[in-house]
Amino acid sequence: MRNVLGLLIVALICAFAYKYYFSKLQPSETATPAQTITSVGVKNDLIAIAQAERTYQAEHGSYATLEELTSNGAMTLLKPGRDGYQYEVESSSTGFTVNARCPAATSPGCTNWTIDETMEVRAAP
């Protein structure tokens, strides 16, 4: 009986430690699986657009607009956005910025994303 009680106490301590440890691993902001899938897709689209910008710049010596990238064949973008996100490219002679903006009114909790010539996707204000 004493061994069973000791085993039960050890199991309880392990259960509390397990719960405490994994509660700290949970992200502070939770998103639905659909929002997570959309967010990953948008980030992948931004990377593809930025890669097309780099390729276009290497071939033409300047950066292009989103329309120029698709019409020139530097990339094939079927839609100018994804699940409410709209993509826009701001280009200059020295660099580019690609923004993915979501309408907060129709998609509450969504995040705007941006990427530039550093190829780092970041949350946009």
d(CA 2, CA 24): 34
- With a CB cutoff of 8 Å and minimum separation 6, the contacts of 42 are 82, 83, 85, 100, 113
- Provide the sign of the torsion angle of the four alpha carbons 98, 117, 125, 23, taken in this order: positive
Verdict on whether the full-model pTM lies above 0.85: no
pLDDT at 27: 54
Average pLDDT, the chain: 84
pLDDT band at 46 (very low <50, low <70, confident <90, very high): very high
Burial of 52 (0-12, 13-18, 19+ CB in 10 A): buried
Q: For 4-8, 27-31, 34-38, 42-46, which range has the lowest pLDDT when averaged over its residues?
A: 27-31
Q: Strand pairing partners for 89?
A: 98
Tokens 């923004």 correspond to what residue?
A: 99
Question: pLDDT (tens digit, 9 = 90+) per residue, 53-111?
Answer: 999 999 889 898 888 888 877 787 767 778 888 899 998 888 999 999 987 776 677 88
